[in-house]
Chain A
């Protein structure tokens, strides 16, 4: 009697085991056939991280006069900054470049930002300095991006600051945003840094 009931059990559980086995196979085949502890790929390259922001000021009257503000946050520790003093009472074209220097060779991300111009905007805030900036580019909706700008320096000043902010997916139609005010822009901050500003 005992044997009979065990037999029935074994027979009865065949469909169950089949179902189970196929389920496991289904789940398992989704996984890459790889040792989790020895991944084949190298460490992940952070593709879209901005490490370096570079502002190039070109004198509108004498284009051979070029000034730069550049900062690199690639390495651990203090960022490497290189900031030129700007001459007073001049007008400049200002071009912004965004780079990822955590990978070799470095990747220029400016194109990505320009291509998605409707989803990006740069903002420039001057504190205690005689510098004014205005946008000189536009996205497909006619709203500024901020990769190309003009700037005018006034009288000599020192101890000022130039803050550069890049917002991703801001509300570009919000109040004052097209005029360069970051206050109502929302979105997510991709870049937010401050350059010392000296005008001589």
Chain B
């Protein structure tokens, strides 16, 4: 529960019309011409970007640019153009300003240039939200899923206090793609108790694309995409670093993070970075009792090396992430009778004094990721980029077992994934530009023997190859269009033992295609409409095809269906964004309709009697579904230092075949935030304090006969946030406090799979401090 700071975050959301505007002085215009320094000819289509307010403009064919609606103050202006070294300039806006910018343009010595727009949220017509470095810092101590849940339309699918996965527009798990540093994160697709293994602090910015984006990213991007963007490596600067520390009340623990980066002497254009982080938490508490066995330990490290010159870009990146987490002890149950007893009881049957120890049931996860990327500018109008990614995921799950077997993993999986991509970014003619490429994936899932438990997910090998093209066409200042297509084929080989113990090797081939079309229409400076319609697909996961047996923790027998085909979806998103009162009021409304055919879900098909008692049986089944939803955000500057923001989201999901609601869909939610910004004093700046209120309504739209308990009641939580920065010399200190569930409310969330067993976390306070040292970072 953090509160985004408007200067950095809201402004990103509201790229038209700055939010931080004081009434009298926010109508200045900055304009000018971008000129080639050598021959003094205008440079068409250069991009001008003001970093502080995240506002920008693209120059026209005569090289002329205009950025309107600016407040008085200093700005950092970045001008980029195809074939030019980006230029960063400071401008002080006190009145309307005309500023010509000269760029060194070399047709043959290309510096960094961006043919297509690189920011994922700048895809035409695509609705998205992002949090920047500062907001990530203020969310210290939260997992990726929890961090993103402050965006309207994004919620969390949790398994107790330790496991959280993002839900975008009602879809989660393998219907959401997580792109970590440009590589598809494959470790979270095994199941809903598997959270993505990544450290959010390694990212400069995390973007959530709230629409299907299969053309660009391939399969699984049905509901949306979470993109953690790599921080650009330094090039010519001296050594810089950053240290962060945090203390967490609920769980009586904390974490730390350290980073060092610099250039390489004698090799201009080279840069390096090393980074490490850790987190250590004991048992969490709900408002009334200890949530036993919910400790977490995390350790992460990464290293990056890069080189850039006129034509080449080369980067190598490696990251390691390890996490050990306890699974709420009381959620480990035997059969349906135990489950019903847990639901009927107001308190968990197992509560012990809080400890830092982690006992079974628990998970140990290790994620290795290596990436190598090489880009080469073939010409003034084209660049080829080749990326290779390697991931190794090592997962052990320990159950409570008899005969001293609790220390033998009940699930011991090893997943290896190679991904490769070659993309050609290009300009075709005056306006049309985009990218075309091929990508491939090779994945092997291996169950290490010796568990003494039949694996829920069999061994498999998955190979896929795809081709895509995505073109962007700016028609005029008001209109931009984008369209794309992809074709992909997936080959799946499975190795499993049938009921009589004979090895079988079934094979599946899935051929899929996707299309996208998007449009941006800027009606005027303060109103913009985005529209896109995208198709997406997802081949069924092996577990959906071949699960067979008891799902521990879910107290259910799950059976796969090997005849299932790919899921497909058509999702249309319409977003309206604008401002009024010279930027004092801002709004953003996103509506979407998602038609999913062959939507795979678990259908209850009766009960099975075992020696352990009765278990419900669920069968993976496909149906057709509609998801309709609306996200809204409204911001208002109440007074000079006061900002109020309202966020709301709602989704309705129907099973068309059965004329029934879909299971486990987020309920309606409403968030209010009030923020006060203190004026800077001496060396103290960026001081602010905020209060949030989150109201989550009871989910009343549920299918009959699927759930074990009725959805939890409506709840209301209050949070707070205070932060400030202090500069001393070349160091910048930032400190902050974040409070969640301040009134220690007892509540359970519908999207928490452990809501049957225990309340969610009670009051939590996190105090954090960070220090940046060395030369200031170049943007």
| Chain A residues within CB distance 8 Å of chain B | 2, 5-6, 8-9, 12-13, 15-17, 19-20, 23-24, 26-28, 30-32, 34, 36-48, 50-53, 71, 73, 76, 79, 109, 112-113, 115-116, 119-120, 167-169, 171, 184, 186-193
Contact B338 A168 (CB under 8 A): no
Determine the distance from Cα of A52 to Cα of B307 in the docked complex, in whole angstroms.
66
> What is the CB-to-nearest-CB distance from A86 to chain B, in angstroms, rounded to a whole number?
22
Query: Could you show 6 A-B contacts with beta carbons less than 8 Å apart?
Result: A13-B316, A44-B449, A48-B401, A189-B337, A191-B612, A191-B613
Contact B314 A16 (CB under 8 A): yes
- B475: chain A residues at CB < 8 Å are none
> What is the CB-to-nearest-CB distance from A74 to chain B, in angstroms, rounded to a whole number?
9
* Contact of B452 with A by CB under 8 A: yes
Contact B402 A116 (CB under 8 A): yes
- B715: chain A residues at CB < 8 Å are none
Contact B451 A44 (CB under 8 A): yes
Say which one of B63-71, B163-171, B453-461 lies at the interface with A.
Answer: B453-461
* Contact of B497 with A by CB under 8 A: yes
Residue ID in chain A nearest B374 by CB atoms: A13
A9 and B459 in contact, given A16-B314, A189-B335, A192-B337 (Cβ under 8 angstroms): no
Contact B335 A192 (CB under 8 A): yes
| Chain B residues within CB distance 8 Å of chain A | 267, 269-270, 303, 305-307, 309-312, 314-316, 318, 330, 332-335, 337-338, 349-350, 368, 370, 372, 374, 390, 392, 394, 400-403, 405, 414, 416, 444-449, 451-455, 459-461, 493-495, 497, 499, 501, 503, 505, 609-613
> What is the CB-to-nearest-CB distance from B403 to chain A, in angstroms, rounded to a whole number?
4
> What is the CB-to-nearest-CB distance from B691 to chain A, in angstroms, rounded to a whole number?
40
Residue ID in chain A nearest B447 by CB atoms: A39
- B501: chain A residues at CB < 8 Å are 42-43
Contact B400 A36 (CB under 8 A): no
- A16: chain B residues at CB < 8 Å are 305-307, 314-316, 372
Contact B503 A39 (CB under 8 A): yes
Contact A48 B461 (CB under 8 A): no
A5 and B307 in contact, given A34-B446, A43-B501, A193-B613 (Cβ under 8 angstroms): no
- B303: chain A residues at CB < 8 Å are 19
Determine the distance from Cα of A115 to Cα of B404 in the docked complex, in whole angstroms.
10
Determine the distance from Cα of A120 to Cα of B400 in the docked complex, in whole angstroms.
12
Determine the distance from Cα of A39 to Cα of B306 in the docked complex, in whole angstroms.
40
A44 and B314 in contact, given A36-B461, A37-B495, A189-B334 (Cβ under 8 angstroms): no
Contact B392 A168 (CB under 8 A): no
Contact A9 B394 (CB under 8 A): no
Residue ID in chain B nearest A44 by CB atoms: B454
Contact B449 A39 (CB under 8 A): yes
> What is the CB-to-nearest-CB distance from A6 to chain B, in angstroms, rounded to a whole number?
7
Contact B305 A37 (CB under 8 A): no
A37 and B493 in contact, given A168-B400, A168-B402, A188-B333 (Cβ under 8 angstroms): yes
Contact A109 B316 (CB under 8 A): no
Contact B309 A5 (CB under 8 A): yes
> What is the CB-to-nearest-CB distance from B236 to chain A, in angstroms, rounded to a whole number?
14
Determine the distance from Cα of A8 to Cα of B543 in the docked complex, in whole angstroms.
48
- B497: chain A residues at CB < 8 Å are 42-44
Q: Which of A8, A109, A168 contacts B267 (CB 8 A)?
A: A8
Contact A5 B310 (CB under 8 A): yes
